[in-house]
Every structure is written in C-alpha cells, then in structure tokens.
Amino acid sequence: MKKTQKLNRRDFIKLSSIAAASLPIAFNGFSVFANEKPKEYSFLENNENILVLIQLQGGNDGLNTVFDKNQYSNLQSVRSNIIIPENELLSIDDVTSFHPSMMGMKNLYDQESLAIIQNVGYPNQNRSHFRSTDIWNSASASEEYISTGWLGRFFNQNHSEFPENYPNTENKDPFAITVGKIVSETCQGPNSNFSMALADPENPGTAFAANTGVIPNNCYGDALNFVNNTVKQTNAYADVVKNASELGKNLSDKYTTSNNNKLAGKLKNVARLISGGLKTKVYIVQLGGFDTHDNQIIDGDRKTGRHGSLLEELSDAISAFQDDLKLLGIDKKVMGMTYSEFGRRIRSNGGLGTDHGTAAPLFLFGSCVKNQILGDTPEIDTQIDEKEGVQMQYDFRNIYSTLLTDWLGGSKTDATAALFNDFDALPLFKSGCSAALSVDNILKDTLEITVYPNPTFNTINIKFFGNNENVKITLYNTIGAIVKNITNKKYSSIQHTINVNLQDLPKGNYFVHYQSNGVSKTKKILKY
C-alpha cells in the first residue's frame, strides 16, 4: 500500500502553518487538530474488551528498566558510569529486577497483573525517532512506507465508508480516543483517523469552524475542509463523551500520591470514561522524554535522574490506573500495553546517557494478562562495539496480532489483513480471560536451538527440530540489520541441521534468530 493522496494529519499540520493566519476558526473546550471519528464496527458478540496503549516517546532504555542478575556484572563493565548499584534494584524473582523507581509495577507483578515481553523490535531496525515511530504505528516492514495505522486498518475492515454517517444508531461512541490534542497515527484509516483527540472529558465543548463564501479548490480549501469535517465529527461525539464523563467516577486514592504525574491524570480520565459506560475500544496516551542521550542518571545517586523520574511516573500511573479499575469492578475487560520506537545501545556514552539502539522490553498490564517474563534475558557481552543494541527476539507485530485476535476479538483473517502478513500469536492472556482464538495452539517457549562452532572462522551449523511447522531463520548484525535470510519453510518433526557459510562476512558479532509457531530464539555468535 502506498501513500494516500488524501489529506492526512501530517499534510494538515504542514498546510495549517500556511493557512492558520486566515482560517476563521473558533474553538471552545478542547483543542482539535486531526481527530476524526469512527463508524459501525462489529466486534465478536459479547466482546467488551478495551485496549489502552501507552506510547513512551523517545526510545526507552530497557537495560535500565529490567535487570538480570546473571548479566549484571557484564552490563556493569560496559555501563560503569550509569548503572544502578545492584543492591538498590527491586527484585521481582530470583534473577529479575526492576529499576528502583518502579515499585508500583513491581507490586502489579506480585499481584499477577503484569507481564514483561523481552527483546521486542522488528527486522532491519531503523534508529530514527520519526521513522521508527512510523513503523510501530503503521506496523509496516522497515523498508515500506504506509500511510495508515494498524488499528485504523483493523477498524476499516468493517467501516470502509467511515467517516460518512457516523456516529449512528449502532455506533454511538468513538472507536478510539487519543488523550491529548493530536490523534494517534495507530488509528489512521485509508480515509480518516478512527480516533478522537480529547484533552478534557469534562468539557468536550462545542468546537466550530466557519467560512464565509465558497471554499476554494486549493491547499487552503483542503485544510479548511479538513478542519470542518474534524469539527463536525468532534461535535457529534461530544454529548456521548460528556455524558460518560458525568456518569463515570474514580475510586482509587493512588492518583493523589503524585500531583505532578500527568500520565496518571490521563489514565484517570480513561478509567472515568470506561466506568461511565463509554464503549470506545481503544485509548492511546503518551509519555515523552525518553530520548536520554545525556544526564540519564544523576552521578552520585544513580537511581535518580531523567530516566528514573520517567519510570516512576509510568509505574505510579499504571499502578493507580489498575487499582482504580479493580475498585470500579471493570478490571477484567481492560488491558494495557507500553511501547517505544526502539531501545538504547548496550554501551553507555560519556554524557551519562545512552544512544539510539534496537530492541527493548515492553509491558502488558491488567487482570487478564498472563503474569510472566516472556523471552530470554538480553545477552550482554563485554566485547561489544559502540553501536551494538539488544537484538530482537519478538517482532512487535506478533504482539499486535495477538491483541487483535485474542483480546479485541478479531479473526485471524482480520489480523492478517490489518498487519499485511500472518504473524503467529503469543501466549499473553490468562486462561478463560480472553477471546483465546489461537494461544492454546502455541508451542511452549522451551524449544532450544544449537549453533556451533561458536566462535567460528567460516561456517556455522544450526541444529533444531522442525515439528511440522514453518521455520524462519535469519542472521542479523549488531545494529539489527538482516545479513542473511537462512531459511523460511516447513520442516518435518525430526532434527535438522543447516550449514551456513559466513566467509563473505567481516569479523565481528552476529545473531541467529529462529522463529516458528510463536516461539522465537536469538543466539549470538562471533566470527573471527
């Protein structure tokens, strides 16, 4: 799918800088930019599940978020100027610890309401903020440029005429709400965005736009039409949002523990709208500031600093939100996920910070989330180059596919169409708590592959069992780029060995990535 020629959010932002001076627009209540509203969407019958996405803008440093004691000494050797003392970390099991600012999320893990998915990324990692965010929001391959979002395409499958004639009697509520001024591109459909931008649910107000005379057929006219359509849709949903806000309530007292926690305030509004009966399926909130090239920590007290403050805000906000959902009795129909455009590099820099990297952990939270650490501990080698990042184990689109089928109630066909490909589901939810269309068929994540000799000069052997499933094996370099596509086909249920010639590759570290039926493994090798 190529870039659409219709005016989208980015086009409007560009045009608005030209037309803003002459657009006779008045706004009352909250600001509206590119928010456009939903159409009639038929989720599976009785599916009232709600998804809350928390975007960590800037690239979260996963290695300063989740720690493994078996890798701590190696990590310390390559991050000696920023690593937090081991005795100050928050242990959540025998080997895994959190940053000391994450007490709220540690408590959620103890309450079996939190999951950690290790090493999440995508092939051919792009380290540009803008481009990598595009990839995560669109669910495109790294070399493809897609103008629609993964959730927008999902909604559009049953609402291809949207936004015409919406809302209607069957679809009175917004499909998605972005808490803020600008809608999330995750919800961008072919014609318009399925998300409504909402800054204040207590005062959605009545925005209006007016123009005297005929709207010209030029960039100015396009921008004005875009605003007018956006405003009409906003007004159409204002009453139902305001009504839900008035009927809803918050019961948790944890929101008051930090009056400056803006993320907690956003999630508090989400809980209030859900409790007030709003049928919106997806909410998106953002927390910025994770681009920690410098002053990530404060030397002398490394648990403090910019990154620690952000993790505290995130952790406290999620903890308060989950507490509120439980007290309101709606916790089993709401789950959340954090995501960020990339992780940080393994080696720290000289400015008490970290630079753009590759994969990172993400969190799932909710009463229906399977309490687990899914995936392997990132392998830390003291012999790494300056640019090396954590290697991908799970493609983020495997997680998206699972959310679409096993939480939001779409079919496998729906998920494949929305994501442009068939991505295996992962075991993310507790038994009997989700749509569970595919997780029961997933192999347990205990499959081992063997790569030898390691180190090597010219060749490696990869040994694995086929299990009558498709097996995809790829070789990556230290910055997450594909070096060789080794195999991608079905293998019988016997042991197989593939010999791979590495003579044409320069010396250095490489990673063998195995993927089959929801199981992913990454093995590091050294070529002399």
Domain extent listing, the chain:
9-441, 450-527
Give this prediction's pTM.
Answer: 0.86
Q: Do domains 9-441 and 450-527 have the same CATH topology?
A: no
Contact 522, 391 (CB under 8 A): yes
Per-residue pLDDT of the chain (528 residues), as tens digits, is: 444 444 444 444 333 333 333 333 332 333 333 333 233 334 445 689 999 999 999 999 999 999 999 999 999 999 999 999 999 999 999 999 999 999 999 999 999 999 999 999 999 999 999 999 999 999 999 999 999 999 999 999 999 999 888 999 899 999 999 999 889 999 999 988 999 999 888 777 455 545 556 778 887 777 676 666 666 666 778 889 999 999 999 999 999 765 689 999 999 999 999 999 999 999 999 999 999 999 999 988 899 999 999 999 999 999 999 999 999 999 999 999 999 999 999 999 999 999 999 999 999 999 999 999 999 999 999 989 899 999 999 999 999 999 999 999 999 999 999 999 999 999 999 987 765 544 444 444 446 799 999 999 999 999 998 888 899 999 999 999 999 999 999 999 899 999 999 999 999 999 999 999 888 999 999 999
CA angle (85, 291, 193) in 5-degree steps: 135
Torsion angle of alpha carbons 144, 150, 156, 161, nearest 10°? -60
Helix (H, G, I), strand (E, B) or coil at 219: helix
335, β-bridge pairs: 51
Q: Say which residue the tokens 């499959």 belong to.
A: 447
Q: What is the spatial distance between Cα 203 and Cα 98, in angstroms, rounded to a whole number? A: 38
Omega cis (within 30) before 163: yes
Tokens of 149: 């979002």
How far is residue 117's CA from residue 425's CA, in Å, rounded to a whole number?
Answer: 13
Strands (E), 211-258: none
Q: For 145-161, b where at least 16 C-beta lie within 10 A, e where not — what string?
A: ebbbbbbbbbbbbebee
- Indicate the DSSP class of residue 379: P
- Block residue for tokens 């204040």: 200
CA R_g for the chain: 24
**CATH code for 9-441?**
3.40.720
* CATH of the structural domain 450-527, one choice from 3.30.70.260, 3.40.50.300, 2.60.40.2550, 1.10.260.40: 2.60.40.2550
Which two tokens mark 126? 């792009």
Closest CA to 328 of 275, 369, 280, 256: 275
Distance CA 283, CA 50 (A): 8
Task: Give CA–CA dist 46/60, Å, rounded.
Answer: 36
pLDDT value at position 259?
64
pLDDT tens string 212-246 = 567 788 877 776 766 666 666 667 788 899 999 99
